[in-house]
Amino acid sequence: MRTIERWQNRDNFIDKRTTAVHVPLNKLTNEERDMIINIANTKKYCDLPPSKIVPILADEGVYIASEA
């Protein structure tokens, strides 16, 4: 019997792979997210993309998160 046929023929079968919850280990905290938004919305950075903001902050010794 083929694998697909086995899956289709099972009664009350729940594919647990689709219900699994995956949280990235490097997910930003709410505080980090708020800090990033606040910095990006300041007058100094509001017209710059993240690829420009991150190096400027790094030169100032500030690291919150990678631009990715």
Q: Contact, 53 vs 39, CB < 8 A? A: yes
User: What pLDDT, on the 0 to 100 scale, is given for residue 37?
Assistant: 95
- Can you tell me which residue has the tokens 């009350």? 12
Taking only the tens place, the pLDDT of each residue in 1-58 is 456 666 666 666 666 677 778 888 889 999 999 999 999 999 999 999 999 999 999 9
Question: What pLDDT score does 32 carry?
Answer: 92
pTM here is 0.62
Q: How far is CA 59 from CA 12, 24, 25, in A?
A: 58, 28, 27
Contact 65, 32 (CB under 8 A): yes
Please classify residue 29 by burial: count the beta carbons closer than 10 Å to its beta carbon, then call 0-12 exposed, 13-18 middle and 19+ buried.
exposed
